[in-house]
């Protein structure tokens, strides 16, 4: 037996040597992803040769790294240098497009040399400068071994990502200045693989981009295709599993526009079976060292004026009230409260002084670096760490991110508008900074009319206004959905006011946005106008329904004389959800499959686990203004 094992080892060694595999010793701080990127392979390639690395990824362990498909050959790179200008007098019927073709330069290059063309049209008799360039050709060896690829007609990001077997995110990382909407002739960096390795785009199929943390269950809900059917169409799935941003081939007849909220709410109260005392830690930046406990007046003033402390204390109250609610259901909790002081150094000290290995979950910290340290430190013991009020910079396998990704919020809003069975017109109004979003919406709604904010004639900068005349004859009788995409409060206020004036008995305007930011708040925004326009937006939470009796809201009002803030409600919802899930299974991981969606006072949770990462909440609300109230939209 021993001799047989020896022979197997020798044969394996010879085969690895013959295929020119590389050995890599794991350094402190490295991850599978960083190692894969270094050698231009995928994490799945590494796991295929090192299956133990999934459970035993430790410093100084030696990994076997396979050959990359990417070629490492120098490729030609063209560069240009501006050497002067030529004066051109504009003739009748000449256009920027025609001049760009005549002089072999771009329209943008002509505009840069003649700034007035950003705000004025080209006219007969204008004397303009035409930039002249000298072209240099050199051979470049890229560290990422990439090559140039020219975008073909009808090709978008997903087609190119599919062709070169990378994710859309990886394509974007290779091309940080890539346009949101690709045009034929654009040049992109792509992996320098052999032509025969490129995948073929088949016109008989559709192609779908996998969303962050999307699992086979959610794809079954959207497409009706089982895991086995998807793997048959995409054989690489058997080796790689699902990856965020990867492109899947699906039948042309499949509609992938299923609503993200098509999961029934689970009532966990009826499934309780694990009544062992739950151990929770709450790590928050109370910064008690700054509060003079001998002075009640000073402490009250600090709570009133310090927004961070106010948020933390509201959240803490919600947590405590959740513990009381769980206790009434027979769930006891041992809660340990720790002050991180919003300092990574203090957090590190707390990790050294406390043993969290037997805890069922840790909530917090809020500060990004502190959260990362806690999650990384507790990863080995598989202690769940809950990102309650922040998005972590890395979702480790033990992290539960309660705030959904922005991309999911945007998709939920777009899907909501598309799901409207009534025939509707779509208009997109955007400032200059949000052009990429407007272009994205144009691809989703090809018939939409797009209107951009005006620019200052001299500076070319965004003036953040539109002329009312730009909206004349835009809104026919019936319903029109208007996407307003801006981060500027004055621009939002102006557009909302103009739109409100165009609403009539025969003209209905529904205002929506993909990102409800501070531009839609404040004294410049009239909530009556927002209600009149039935303003819709995607949200992580909804406001509690005043018309429905709620034990938490009632108890909070009885105790404090006011309605709970959204932070108090969030503390209650997150904590009660954790405790109920823990009481239905042995641990939080087993209780967090993507078929379980829970809803409480203002928040709901449906976690989806990525293949090698943690859990991210995918439950999203679409809310709207209705008679000066913000309610859930149906």
Nearest to 275 by CA among 212, 331, 349, 232: 331
Q: Tens digit of pLDDT for each residue in 213-244?
A: 578 887 887 788 888 999 999 888 887 778 77
pLDDT at 130 over 80: yes
The whole-angstrom separation of Cα 62 and Cα 26 is: 6
Please state the pTM of the whole predicted model.
0.62
CB contact at 8 A, 448 and 441: yes
HEC letters along 527-587: HHHHHHCCCEEEECECCCCCCCCCHHHHHHHHHHCCCCCHHHHHHHHHHHHHHHHHHHCCC
For position 78, what pLDDT does the model report? 62
CA distances from 442 to 156, 180, 257, 429, 439 (A): 14, 11, 17, 11, 5
Task: Give the CA angle between residues 207, 209, 213 to the nearest 5°.
Answer: 145
For position 138, what pLDDT does the model report? 54
H helices then E strands: how many in the chain? Answer: 20, 24
Q: How many CB atoms lie within 10 A of CB 625?
A: 21
Higher local confidence (pLDDT), 169 or 485: 485
The whole-angstrom separation of Cα 510 and Cα 533 is: 5
Return the structure tokens found at 145: 């071994």
For position 332, what pLDDT does the model report? 96
Higher local confidence (pLDDT), 287 or 13: 287
Banded model confidence at residue 341, pLDDT cuts 50, 70, 90: very high
The whole-angstrom separation of Cα 498 and Cα 447 is: 22
Higher local confidence (pLDDT), 191 or 9: 191
The whole-angstrom separation of Cα 289 and Cα 352 is: 20
* DSSP-assigned beta bridge partners for residue 615: 400, 609
Judged on CB neighbours under 10 Å (0-12, 13-18, 19+), 549 is: exposed
Q: Tens digit of pLDDT for each residue in 54-84?
A: 777 888 888 888 776 554 455 455 667 788 8
Name 579's Cβ contacts closer than 8 Å, sequence gap at least 6: 278, 280, 322, 323, 326, 331, 333
For position 293, what pLDDT does the model report? 58
Share of the chain above pLDDT 70, in %: 87
CB contact at 8 A, 632 and 229: no
For position 176, what pLDDT does the model report? 76
The whole-angstrom separation of Cα 583 and Cα 275 is: 6
For position 210, what pLDDT does the model report? 81
CB contact at 8 A, 595 and 609: no
Lowest mean pLDDT across 295-304, 426-435, 548-557: 295-304
CB contact at 8 A, 314 and 563: no
The whole-angstrom separation of Cα 284 and Cα 151 is: 49
Banded model confidence at residue 295, pLDDT cuts 50, 70, 90: low
Share of the chain above pLDDT 90, in %: 46
DSSP 292-353: -TT-HHHHHHHHHH-HHHHHHHHHHHHHHHHHHHHHHTT--EEEEEEE-TT-HHHHHHHHHH
Banded model confidence at residue 399, pLDDT cuts 50, 70, 90: very high
Q: Which domains does the chain have, with CATH numbers?
A: 2-65 (3.10.350.10), 75-140 (3.10.350.10), 202-258 (3.10.350.10), 268-404+548-620 (3.40.50.2300), 407-539 (3.40.50)
CA distances from 440 to 18, 155, 182, 189, 265 (A): 48, 15, 11, 21, 32
Name the percent of the chain in helix, strand, coil, to the closest 5. Answer: 35, 20, 40
φ and ψ of 281, to 5 deg = -120, 135
Mean of the pLDDT values across residues 427-438?
A: 94
pLDDT at 144 over 80: no
Q: Left if phi > 0, otherwise alpha if psi is -120 to 50, otherwise beta: which for 282?
A: beta
pLDDT at 370 over 70: yes
pLDDT at 419 over 60: yes
Banded model confidence at residue 175, pLDDT cuts 50, 70, 90: confident
For position 206, what pLDDT does the model report? 79
Lowest mean pLDDT across 261-275, 276-290, 295-309: 295-309
For position 429, what pLDDT does the model report? 96
**Chain-centroid distance, C-alpha 574:** 21
Task: Give the CA angle between residues 623, 625, 627 to the nearest 5°.
Answer: 140
pLDDT at 15 over 50: no
Banded model confidence at residue 304, pLDDT cuts 50, 70, 90: low
CB contact at 8 A, 476 and 507: yes
- Alpha-carbon dihedral sign for residues 32, 34, 40, 42: positive
- Alpha-carbon dihedral sign for residues 365, 369, 372, 377: negative
pLDDT at 550 over 80: yes
* DSSP-assigned beta bridge partners for residue 139: 76
Mean of the pLDDT values across residues 422-426?
A: 79
Indicate the DSSP class of residue 276: S
The whole-angstrom separation of Cα 589 and Cα 608 is: 11
For position 423, what pLDDT does the model report? 63
For position 259, what pLDDT does the model report? 43
């Amino acid at each position: 037996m021993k001799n047989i094992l020896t022979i197997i080892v020798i044969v394996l060694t010879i085969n690895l040597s013959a295929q020119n595999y590389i050995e890599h010793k794991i350094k402190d701080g490295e991850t599978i992803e960083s190692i894969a990127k270094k050698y231009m392979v995928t994490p799945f390639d590494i796991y295929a040769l090192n299956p133990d690395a999934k459970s035993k990824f430790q410093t100084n362990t030696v990994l076997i790294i396979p050959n990359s498909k990417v070629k490492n050959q120098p490729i030609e790179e063209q560069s240009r240098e501006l050497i002067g200008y030529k004066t051109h007098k504009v003739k009748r019927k000449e256009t920027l497009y025609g001049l760009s073709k005549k002089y072999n330069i771009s329209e943008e290059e002509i505009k840069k040399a003649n700034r007035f063309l950003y705000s004025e049209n080209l006219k007969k008799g204008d004397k303009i400068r035409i930039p002249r360039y000298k072209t240099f050709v050199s051979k470049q060896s890229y560290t990422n071994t990439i090559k140039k690829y020219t975008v073909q007609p009808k090709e978008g990001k997903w087609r190119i990502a599919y062709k070169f077997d990378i994710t859309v995110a990886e394509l974007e990382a290779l091309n940080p200045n890539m346009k949101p909407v690709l045009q034929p002739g654009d040049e992109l960096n792509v992996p320098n693989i052999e032509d025969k390795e490129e995948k073929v785009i088949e016109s008989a199929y559709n192609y779908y981009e996998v969303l962050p943390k999307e699992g086979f269950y959610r794809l079954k809900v959207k497409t009706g295709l089982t895991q086995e059917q998807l793997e048959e169409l995409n054989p690489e799935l058997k080796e790689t599993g699902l990856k965020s941003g990867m492109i899947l081939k699906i039948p042309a007849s499949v509609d992938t526009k299923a609503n993200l909220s098509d999961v029934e709410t689970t009532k966990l109260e009826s499934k309780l079976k694990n009544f062992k005392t739950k151990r929770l830690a709450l790590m928050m930046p109370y910064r008690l060292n700054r509060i003079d406990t001998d002075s009640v007046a000073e402490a009250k003033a600090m709570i009133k004026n310090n927004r961070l402390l106010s948020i933390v204390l509201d959240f803490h109250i919600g947590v405590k009230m959740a513990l009381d609610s769980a206790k009434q259901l027979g769930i006891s909790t041992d809660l340990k409260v720790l002050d991180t002081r919003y300092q990574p150094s203090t957090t590190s000290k707390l990790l050294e002084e406390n043993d969290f290995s037997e805890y069922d979950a840790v909530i917090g910290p809020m500060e990004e670096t502190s959260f990362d340290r806690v999650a990384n430190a507790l990863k080995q013991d598989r202690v769940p760490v809950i990102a309650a009020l922040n998005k972590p910079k890395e979702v480790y396998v033990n992290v539960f991110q309660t705030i959904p990704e922005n991309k999911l919020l945007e998709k939920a809003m777009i899907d909501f508008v598309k799901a409207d069975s009534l025939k509707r017109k779509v208009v997109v109004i955007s400032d200059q900074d949000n052009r990429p979003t407007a272009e994205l919406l144009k691809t989703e709604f090809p018939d939409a009319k797009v209107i951009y904010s005006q620019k200052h004639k001299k500076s070319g900068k965004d003036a953040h206004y539109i002329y009312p005349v730009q909206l004349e004859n835009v809104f026919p009788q019936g319903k029109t959905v208007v996407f307003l995409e801006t981060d500027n409060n004055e621009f939002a206020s102006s557009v909302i006011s103009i739109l409100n004036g165009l609403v009539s008995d025969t003209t209905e305007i529904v205002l929506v946005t993909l990102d409800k930011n501070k531009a839609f708040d404040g004294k410049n925004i009239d909530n009556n106008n927002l209600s009149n326009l039935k303003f819709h937006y995607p949200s992580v939470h909804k406001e509690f329904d005043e018309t429905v009796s709620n034990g938490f809201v009632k108890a909070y009002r009885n105790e404090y004389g006011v309605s709970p803030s959204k932070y108090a409600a969030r503390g209650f919802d997150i904590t009660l959800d954790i405790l109920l899930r823990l009481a239905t299974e042995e641990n939080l991981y087993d209780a967090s499959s993507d078929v379980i969606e829970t809803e409480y006072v203002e928040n709901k949770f449906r976690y989806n686990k990525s293949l090698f990462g943690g859990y991210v909440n995918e439950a999203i609300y679409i809310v709207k203004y209705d008679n000066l109230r913000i309610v859930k939209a149906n």
